[in-house]
Structure 1
Amino acid sequence: MTQADAQGALVDELDEHVRALVRREGVDPQRDAVVVRRIAEGVVREHDERSLTGQVAPVADAGAVVGELVARVSGFGPLQPFLDDPAVEEIWINDPSRVFIARHGRHELTNLMLSQSQVSELVERMLKSSGRRIDISQPFVDAMLPEGHRLHVVLEGISRGFSAVNIRKFVLRAARLSDLVELGSLTPRAAAFLEASVRAGLNVLVAGGTQAGKTTMLNCLAAAIPGGDRVVSAEEVFELRFPHPDWVPMQTRQSGLEGTGEIKLRDLVKESLRMRPSRIIVGEVRSEECLDLLLALNAGLPGMCTLHANSAREALVKMCTLPLLAGENISARFVVPTVAASVDLVVHLGIDHQGVRRVNEVVGVPGRVENDIIETESIFERRGGDLQRANGMPPRIELYERAGIDVHRILSQDR
């Protein structure tokens, strides 16, 4: 047996000892990671003392062994180092021998080799902490891990050969629009304009591709909502995190084993209107819930949401298409003017070839429709790599004036 094999066997033995103590003390390993670390430190310390007598082999690196034991028992085993690394943004498993990570917007194939049983155990442990399930009747699952990371699993049989696992980490790099300025995502003038628009109560649609930073932008915009407003949000899985004293976050729910009890995003949007909201936020609009959101916005309730789209123009087209999924009696003749009257600003985000997330354009929607095409005015656009002021003006200037905001001064400032 090699030295590495011997150390591996030793860690396995210590792992069993730690698990036995955790069970005996009735500790929830995922909720009480601090207690698990204390137990692991005690087990390793006791083993080190015994090794002085020659009864057992010494531990090569006590600190590393304690970390591995905590990762095995309380964390997510071999994936835990990637979860602990702040530079890693996403982790995905295509098959047990191909584990990828995204770091600074770029993909990397790791040297981690797992077994199929390890992947199954990891998925089971992750879902246990979320309260959600996956089985043959429910082969997809979206769930949130204890640290706020988002888990998505596609069961083997739907994905060929092995279950596909994706973990999108919650990495808080920006909590306010000023933080996005420091990161180079937008300019100070654009940040001041967006903050003023949120304070004034304009309806904002945040659009972009996968991993473009839509949720981060939505969090930063929501942080600008006045503290006296009541906020109600609806999401597939809890991802929004922003400071506000009067905020009710809600998420969807899977159906139970009997096939009942499912709560869809559309249900949450409808319920939110019964909760006396001053603002409504939908984490991501994907389907027929778009109709209910539009009806709320059109009734004068300020709101924000995100949407997958390749440009601000395509985002508006998609907002006009998704409500048609709500039923055959919904027509484009109703939806198009409703979108034009309900959406005030579209913020489109992108990610460049170096993995840097940026605001590509901010457009205003004045509410006019010509030949079934919604007119827009470009307020900010990226030219030559820089986000620059365009000629357009935002709609509903009276809302800025009512809030005591001189939007003309903000847009004319040379910053």
Structure 2
Amino acid sequence: MAVPFIVQPRGNPRRAGEGDTRAERGEAMTARADLGPLAPYLSDDAVTDVFVNGTSGLFVDRGSGPEHDPTWRASEREVRDIATALIARGGRHIDDATPCVDVRLAGGVRIHAVLPPVATSGTSLSIRVPRLARANLDDLCRGGAFDEGVRAWLTRVVLARENVLVTGAAGTGKTTLLAAMLAHTPENERIVTIEDVAELRIAHPHHVSLEARQPNLEGAGAIGLARLVRESLRMRPDRIVVGECRGEEVRELLTALNTGHDGGAGTLHASGLDDVPARLEALGALAGMDDHAVARQVTSAIGFVLHLERDRTGRRRLARVGRFTDAGGRLGITEATPWE
């Protein structure tokens, strides 16, 4: 298979959340069309993820899990060339010295590439494709994520400026639900989001998106999430949102939410609602917090935990809602149905 792939500069990509305009949709479609031999897979609006596993094949997820495409053929050299070109489009460089790279392209497409020998079966590509249309709570309700009573309650949670933590495994729709909820934020409020790779697309007129920066080839210039949370406090935000808590930034977020910054949110990977306290204790330990400090900070800062699951058919749903408890200095959680 010949893989013609010309990398062309596109200027600065539009930041997520600047409004679902016709120009923005056109930019996203153009970005997808420029993905060379992968463009036919990404032009389908139903596609959420594309995976290339070296010479082992290509898999496409259209909402019901990855499915193998038997028509795809590519050598290791060709897959590596695709990965190199895609990473270059995102303004970064991948080679044997830097074999693992994550970038976001114009239009919000997210590319993660890993080269051999780190990827033992050949160059690995993982591509996440944002929906062109922003989902809202009505859409999620119609899609079976929750019923009408829960939809109305989620709207009240936003308007009441409750701090929430959205949890679930990868691909359960944490970012989608959070963006849909934040779209109900009053227009006179300023939302600042902080993410490793900017994915939150919020239908709101005053959304500022901050994205972490990886170190350069010399290992300098990195700007992590913890620093961005601190920087956001100087931007007079009405709501602070951390796209995914995975390290010491959890301390900065909890501190902010405990000092008058109501209406904030974060997402967290967890396999079940009952696993969330242990995950937060582990992240707190990375930030130098003991279990007692985590329990006091979390129970004071977070109003509700919204846990999402994805069933075998690919349907994503709000499975459980929890509230944190302080059980003798250790963080606990109880299930709640506050809309009843």
Task: Give the TM-score band, short-chain normalised.
Answer: 0.7 to 0.9
1:319 to 260, 280, 283: 280
Distance 2:226 2:102 in 1: 17
Distance 1:184 1:240 in 2: 21
The SS at the match of 1:91 is strand
Q: What is the DSSP-based 3-state SS (H/G/I as helix, E as strand, rest coil) of the residue aligned with 1:160? A: coil
For residues 253 and 313 of structure 2, what CA distance do their matches in structure 1 show? 35
Label 1:222 to 1:361 Cα distance change in 2 as closer, same or farther (>3 A).
Answer: same
Does 2:90 match 1:133? Answer: no
Kept in 1, the 8 Å contact 2:33–2:39? The answer is: no
Equivalent position of 1:359 in the other structure: 318
Tell me if the contact between 1:184 and 1:358 (Cα under 8 Å) persists in the aligned partners: yes
Q: 1:6-405, aligned counterparts within 5 Å?
A: 28=8, 75-111=34-70, 112-172=72-132, 175-302=135-262, 303-327=264-288, 330-365=289-324, 368-374=325-331, 376-380=333-337, 393=338
- Say which structure is richer in helix: 1
Counterpart of 1:95, as a letter, is G
For the residues of structure 2 that align with 1:165 and 1:296, how far apart are their CA atoms?
Answer: 36
Residue aligning to 1:50: none
Distance across 1 between alignment mates of 2:225 and 2:95: 22
User: How far does the alpha carbon of each residue in 1:370-398 deviate from its partner, in whole angstroms, 9 at most, with x for none?
Assistant: 23344545333xxxxxxxxxxxx4xxxxx
Q: CA deviation at 1:103?
A: 2.2
Aligned residue in 2 for 1:48: none
For each residue in 1:51-97, what CA deviation from the matched residue of structure 2 results, as whole angstroms up to 9, or x when unmatched?
xxxxxxxxxxxxxxxxxxx99x9622221111101222211111124
Q: Tell me, in whole angstroms, the C-alpha distance in 2 between the residues paired with 1:125 and 1:91.
A: 16
Give the number of the structure whose alpha-carbon radius of gyration is greater: 1
Alignment coverage as a number of residue pairs: 320
One-letter code of the match for 1:269? V
Q: Distance in 1 between matches of 2:198 and 2:156?
A: 26
SS of corresponding position for 1:228: coil
Structure 2 length as normaliser, TM-score?
A: 0.87
Q: Per the alignment, in what secondary structure is the counterpart of residue 210 of structure 1?
A: coil
Which residue number in structure 1 is paired with residue 18 of structure 2? none
Q: Does structure 2 conserve the Cα–Cα contact (< 8 Å) formed by 1:237 and 1:252? A: yes
Matched residue, 1:388: none
Unaligned runs of 5+ residues in structure 1 are 1-7, 20-26, 32-69, 381-392, 394-410
**Matches of 2:314 and 2:134 in 1, distance apart?**
16
* Distance across 2 between alignment mates of 1:375 and 1:315: 9
Secondary structure of the equivalent of 1:96? helix
Question: In 2, distance between residues paired with 1:133 and 1:263?
Answer: 18
Contact 1:30 1:75 in 2 (8 A): no
Contact 2:33 2:43 in 1 (8 A): no
Residue identity matched to 2:236: R
Tell me by how many angstroms 1:99 deviates.
1.1
Does the CA-based 8 Å contact 1:316-1:339 persist in structure 2?
A: no
Supply the AA of the counterpart residue of 1:378. E
> Is contact 1:87-1:104 (8 Å) kept?
yes
SS of 2:108's partner is: coil
Q: TM-score, normalised by structure 1?
A: 0.72
Q: Is the 8 A contact 2:212 2:223 kept in 1?
A: yes
Q: CA deviation at 1:369?
A: 1.5
Q: Indicate conservation of the 8 Å contact 2:9/2:89, yes or no.
A: no
* 2:17 alignment partner in structure 1: none
Q: Counterpart of 2:235 in 1: which secondary structure?
A: coil
* Residue type at the aligned position of 2:315: V
Shift in CA distance, 209/280, structure 1 to aligned 2, threshold 3 Å: same
Structure 2 gaps, min length 5:
12-28
User: How far off its partner does 1:124 sit?
Assistant: 2.0
C-alpha contact (below 8 Å) 1:207/1:307 kept by paired residues: yes
* Higher RCO (CA-CA < 8 Å; seq separation 6+): 2
In structure 2, C-alpha distance between the alignment counterparts of 1:337 and 1:229, rounded to whole Å:
28
- Provide, for residues 128-175 of structure 1, a one-character-per-residue CA deviation record: whole Å limited to 9, x for no partner: 221122233332111112231211111211111412110011125652
Aligned residues with identical type, % of pairs: 36
